[in-house]
Each structure stands twice: as structure tokens, then as C-alpha cells.
A and B are shown apart, each in its own frame.
Chain A
Amino acid sequence: GAVVSQHPSWVICKSGTSVKIECRSLDFQATTMFWYRQFPKQSLMLMATSNEGSKATYEQGVEKDKFLINHASLTLSTLTVTSAHPEDSSFYICSARDAGTGGRETQYFGPGTRLLVL
């Protein structure tokens, strides 16, 4: 299957700092990537849809100025958590959409980034 990498895998930062997370599709081009957030023992919550060359589409209740998304190329999307606070601590997961052919569209997920804000 297709491979999606995510970096860093974990990060600890002080409150007030900004953290950038990278999501890369390694063996396919992804015009669309997605960013999710997952709290312990819960399902994934979609934060935003990242489209190459255009602005991201944020889900209701997600602060776009807080979570900056940049999709500068067909293989890279970044999520920047600005002025992070302890409540931003979470597991962030990206996915990249492989359009495929013949109805084989699939989202492949990165390994996730654990963010701890002190």
C-alpha cells in the first residue's frame, strides 16, 4: 500500500510556542490531505481538509488561525499549531488521499504525532 510519513513522531514544547508537523506522501501524489485529532480512547476528529495550491477547509469549531495548514506541493502538507497551550496536547494524524483508478480511492494515514504542551 501507499506510504505516508509524518514528522515529528512526538514533540514536547512549552506553552506559547509554535509547533510544525509535516505530512508527506512518499510514493504517490496527493492533491488532498486531511488532518485529524484524536483524544485518548476516542475516534478520529477531522480538523481540516488540505488542498494543494489552495486554502484549507476547516471543520466547524476548528480555529484556522490556531491551526495553520499549508499544502505547498503534491506530496507535502504541514500543520502548525500556533501559540500552543496545554489543551492542544493531543495525537495529531494526517492522511493523504490516493485517488487511484477504477474506484480505488483510499486515504492512507501517517503514523501520527503526539504533542505535549507543558
Chain B
Amino acid sequence: AQKVTQAQTEISVVEKEDVTLDCVYETRDTTYYLFWYKQPPSGELVFLIRRNSFDEQNEISGRYSWNFQKSTSSFNFTITASQVVDSAVYFCALTPPLGTASKLTFGTGTRLQVTL
């Protein structure tokens, strides 16, 4: 069975602070995909990143960066110089390889509040 744990329920930061959202996962598959989605107050889930289990390179996209550590089964997400527009619920998710129904297993989400 697969499991995703986002231990941080809510985080509140002041604008321009850096913030890291933690994600720990469990799976018996040797190949899998990890995702981060952003859900702003409007409700739509916005795709942020997909990471394949065989690619452990960290990734940076603007103010966003992701740290994939297979040894600790973690896929943490860092926002640098946070902005009010970053306020949202962020979900980490896991799926088995293509061809196995590809169901996403979601974490419980981390609500990020960025204030002025």
C-alpha cells in the first residue's frame, strides 16, 4: 500500500521568508512518480512538478525548489522569498508506474498562509 504523509497541517510565514513543506512517502514499488499540486482558495488543483523515482536530481523553478531524497523517502518543497500569492493548500502525491491504474495517493495537505 502507498502512503503520503504531510506532517505540517498549517504554516504561517511573513512575506519574503523562505518556507519548506515536508513530504514523506511509503511505497513498495521500485518505480513510482511523485507530484506536488497547489490548491488556491478558488479550489482548482494546479500541477507544480512531477518527479520520477529514478531521477534524484533536485529541481529549481523560479522561487520553487524540490529536494528528492530517496534514502529518506522524502520529497520536500521549498518556496524562497514567499509572496502572498503563494497562500494555498499544497498537496504532495504519489502514484505507481504507468499501466497500473495510476491512482494518485494524496497527502493530507499543508495550508500555507503568507502575510504581509
Contact = CB atoms under 8 A, between A and B. Distances in A.
Interface stretch (B14-22, B38-46, B78-86): B38-46
Contacts of A41: 111
A104 B50 contact: yes
Given A99-B98, A103-B52, A106-B35, A46 B45 contact: no
A104 B37 CA distance: 15
Interface residues of A, number: 26
Contacts, number: 57
Interface string A29-50: 0001010000001111010010
Interface stretch (B56-64, B65-73, B99-107): B99-107
A105 B42 contact: no
Contact of A107 (B44, B104, B107): B104
Interface string A46-87: 100100000001000000000000000000000000000000
A93 interface: yes
B102 to A, nearest CB: 6
Contacts of B108: 42-43
Given A106-B35, A106-B50, A43 B106 contact: yes
Contacts of B45: 44, 93, 95, 109
Interface range on chain B: under 10, 10 to 19, 20 to 34, or 35 or more? 20 to 34
Nearest to B108: A43
Nearest to A113: B43
A104 B95 CA distance: 12
Contact of B91 (A43, A99, A111): A43
A99 to B, nearest CB: 7
B107 A49 contact: no
Interface of B: 33, 35, 37, 42-47, 50, 52, 91, 95, 98, 101-104, 106-109, 111
Interface of A: 1, 32, 34, 41-44, 46, 49, 57, 91, 93, 95, 97, 99, 103-112, 114
Given A46-B103, A103-B33, A107-B104, 6 more contacts: A41-B111, A43-B109, A104-B50, A109-B47, A111-B43, A112-B43
